[in-house]
Structure 1
Amino acid sequence: MQRQIRNLTLAAMLTALGLILPLVTGNIPRLGNMLLPMHLPVFLGGLLLGWQYGLILGAVLPLMRSLLFGMPPLYPVALAMTFELATYGAVAGALYRRSPWKCLRALYRALLLAMFAGRAVWGIAEIALLGMTGKTFTRQMFLAGAFLNAVPGILLQLILIPSVMLALHRTGISGLFGADAGVRTANGQFYASFSSAVRASGRRISACARRALCFRKDNNGGETAACFALQCDSHGRFLPAFFAESSGAHGRAGRTYLG
């Protein structure tokens, strides 16, 4: 229940951000088309909250802005953006959530693939919407809108989104760097994620670069000392390793493994 409330609160904040950010460039439409401010909260929603939230945020934001502020124009811009942004949030969230390694490499892979998928969907939507009125959507229009004019916004997203994820990781919100790696102990005790194990211990990861975290926790009358160690492999992926030994009336040492 607490997690659901947190997710809904964060989704509401991202929705408000998506409505406000375009106002910064509202007087200069060309600048808004280059920086793509509405894309940022949609990507963050998918990455932080999952593909369902990302899809809903992407589908709702363009329509809400069009109805509330008259920008972007409902037809065909806002309608096409609805499909585009919904794809961004859903694909980025799904790919990142399914990745076994929550690291920068996985984050960038999810972002780049989502960007290509969303632009492809945007092109298809523009063709369909303009075709209803007998207009054509040329390849030159697609390349200009999807890539050439959007280069500053793409670069901004590739720099800003990982930076925000890193900052949120320090607060325990983001699952970057192995925070979602499930851990199961020999006695059957299971932590759904690295971050939940940290919360269970009453401690928090203070920095992304921190390589190990140890905590003590009572378990059936025995006190368990556990350490999470983060190491990098040759591909730059983080390898979570779990070590534990138990002592006390009901505790015993045992081998542990990743669940």
Structure 2
Amino acid sequence: MNRRITALGMWLALGFTVSLFFHQFPIKVGQVLLPLHFVVILAGAISGPFVGSISGLLTPLLSALIVGKPPIQPPIAIFMAFELLTYGLITGFLVKRWKSIYLSMLLAWIAGRLVYTLEIIVVAPMLGFQLGTISALSISYLLGLPGVAIQLFLIPVIYRRLGSFKKA
């Protein structure tokens, strides 16, 4: 349990630092490169579903409370928290079960984006927010394709490198 708490602290610190760095830019670099997604998927893959999901839930909320981005009003940080929780949980669970980082990431991306889409289309209007239509969500997803491509390349490399340290 101590190891999980330590890993969780490390991933939260990394996620917060990455968030702080990317929110310094005047343009929406975070929407293009998806840095929090990167950290949480890596946390799930390396530290497992518990640490991945909790880091996914807490990272955007802590960043919102401390830095103000992603925003709490409208509840983007809250919606991101559940999207990232899904990424960390599914990646961690599937990597552990199937040992395939690529398939785990793909299924986590699909599930996480589905959660986010449902939040924006179903939950946001129930809370009185009109955050987007299908076309707005499509544009958002297209903006994130460079980040997904970078993740597809870097996460497996980092995962394998860190896995080789565990075996040594």
Equivalent of 1:6 in 3, 6, 20: 3
Determine the C-alpha separation between the residues in 1 that align with 2:88 and 2:57. Answer: 9
Counterpart of 2:120 in structure 1 is 126
Counterpart of 2:80 in structure 1 is 81
> Are 1:36 and 1:153, in contact at CA under 8 Å, matched by a contact in 2?
yes
Determine the C-alpha separation between the residues in 2 that align with 1:112 and 1:168. Answer: 20
Counterpart of 1:209 in structure 2 is none
> Are 1:130 and 1:137, in contact at CA under 8 Å, matched by a contact in 2?
no
Equivalent of 2:68 in 70, 77, 80: 70
Q: When you count strand as a share of all residues, which structure comes out higher?
A: 1
Cα offset, 1:141, TM superposition: 1.2
Determine the C-alpha separation between the residues in 1 that align with 2:124 and 2:161. Answer: 40
Structure 1 consecutive aligned stretches of length 4 or more whose deviation exceeds 6 Å = none
| Identity of matched residues, % | 35
Q: Which runs of 5+ in 1 are unaligned?
A: 173-194, 196-203, 205-259
Q: TM-score, normalised by structure 2?
A: 0.91
Count of aligned positions: 165
Bigger CA radius of gyration:
1
Counterpart of 2:46 in structure 1 is 48
Q: When you count helix as a share of all residues, which structure comes out higher?
A: 2
Please give the per-residue CA displacement for 1:75-113, whole angstroms capped at 9, x wherever unaligned.
3210110111000001111111111xx3xxx11000011
Cα offset, 1:31, TM superposition: 1.0
Determine the C-alpha separation between the residues in 2 that align with 1:34 and 1:137. Answer: 17
Structure 2 residue identity aligned to 1:77: I
Determine the C-alpha separation between the residues in 2 that align with 1:164 and 1:112. Answer: 17
> Are 2:20 and 2:63, in contact at CA under 8 Å, matched by a contact in 1?
no
Matches within 5 A, 1:204-215: 204=168
Q: Which runs of 5+ in 2 are unaligned?
A: none
> Are 1:18 and 1:41, in contact at CA under 8 Å, matched by a contact in 2?
yes
Of stretches 37-46 and 123-132 in structure 1, the one that deviates more from structure 2 is 123-132
Equivalent of 2:31 in 11, 30, 33: 33
Q: TM-score, normalised by structure 1?
A: 0.60
- Aligned CA RMSD, in angstroms, stands at 1.5
Q: Which has the higher contact order (CA 8 A, sep 6+)?
A: 2
**Residues 1:143 and 2:143 are matched in the alignment:** no
Structure 1 residue identity aligned to 2:162: L
